[in-house]
Amino acid sequence: MYLPQEIIKQKRNGGVLSDDAIRQFVAGLTDQSFSEGQIASLAMAIYLNGMQTEETVALTRAMRDSGAVLNWSGLNGPVVDKHSTGGVGDKVSLMLAPMVAACGAYVPMIAGRGLGHTGGTIDKLEAIPGYQTQQSLDSIQQLVRKNGAVIVSQSAELAPADRRLYLIRDVTATVESIPLITASILSKKLAAGLQYLTMDVKIGSGAIMKNVADASALARSIVNTAKGAGVPTQALLTDMNQTLGTSAGNALEVVETLDYLTGKYREPRLHQVTLELGASMLQLAGLYPDKTSAVAALEHSLTSGKAAELFSKMVAAQGGPADLLEKPAQYLATAKVVQDITAPATGYLAGADTTAIGMAVVRLGGGRAHPSQVINPAVGFSDVQPVGGRFTSGQLLARVHANTQEQADKAKAEYLAALGWSETPVATDPLVHLVID
């Protein structure tokens, strides 16, 4: 047995923590025998000095084993998931879970809420009246076996050590620690009983990782740690230098998801990244031998209507309306004020401060300034135009959805201030920067 201060001192001085010390720390997280001050001190020591891969694997496994671990024996297909590090307008999980399930995999997706400027998958789904993101472990297993996919919030029974550590990291400026990010993500995924995992590591102005070097370091940490824990994983480094898709805001992103699944409209960048991530999942799981056949299967899940059908079944099974796809306007909240945002002059849209756009959504009420805040699902931005295009003065750039005219005016000014302009054509960033196996 170690004293908590001995473990803290070891890592503070740049040492390597033993498996026993790491297990004791995680036990202390779970049974409250480590104080918040001691947890914060060790988190900061890890933030400053890092961890070796073996330490991160040990931390991940111990956090996984701090609660229940789902067992998927008896399924007639592989169990696979996708996780994103977060961005603005990233609603990929909502369409990807039913698409991949339609191709023969099982997808028990445990998703998160918004953090800072980034939107959360759970917040988006809770814009659907009645949708229950909290499910018992037995219910999760039944729903996956019945429908092929489920999207739920983290259960208190899965990786409870991560819940406490995350809350302390959030208020101690240690969120960005790569080993702690890695262990937080993977402990929950491993507790869900995954056999395969695809990571979407975002890069750019709207991501936690702003450049390829930092994103690559995180991706390699996740891939190597997951491999050490026995879960084959691939990471795609994808662009977050602009809003993904045409919307940012919870109900607005559900509307875009429904349009995507039903074929009403599929924004090209959003469609490409969804196919790239889905193909990775299907290939990792051994369902398709190459990217071409995997993409074809995903496209067929859309054109056949099977992915839309599975999404509808998932929503209904989790308490939402069975006819959401047919009657979205009947169920999804709409804002009191909708206002156009237009180009102030003629030129090329050269770039966007995507974090600033995400924070504008938060200030509209579409995210949380503090943990207890109730989200307004109706607010945000729609009809978002992509970077790189040429716009004439007065041409539509986006629409703001707000609760009051004052909030709409402020959000419009913030949106315009987040944009950069050029008199000449600009090159846009690649959607997929790198793939790490």
Annotated active-site positions, please? Answer: 81-84, 121, 169, 184, 188-189
Gap between the Cα atoms of 293 and 287, Å rounded: 10
3-state secondary structure of 179: helix
**DSSP bridge pairs for 391:** 347
Cα 137 → chain centroid: 21
106: which 2 tokens? 């099982």
Gap between the Cα atoms of 351 and 427, Å rounded: 10
202 C-beta neighbours (distance < 10 Å), count: 27
The 3-state secondary structure of 87-145 reads CCCCCHHHHHHHHHHHCCCEEEEEECCCECCECCHHHHHCCCCCCCCCCCHHHHHHHHH
Closest by alpha carbon to 121, among 314, 303, 337?
A: 314
181: which 2 tokens? 């990010």
In the 8-state DSSP scheme, what is residue 374? P
301: which 2 tokens? 């899940």
**DSSP bridge pairs for 118:** 115
Gap between the Cα atoms of 128 and 124, Å rounded: 8
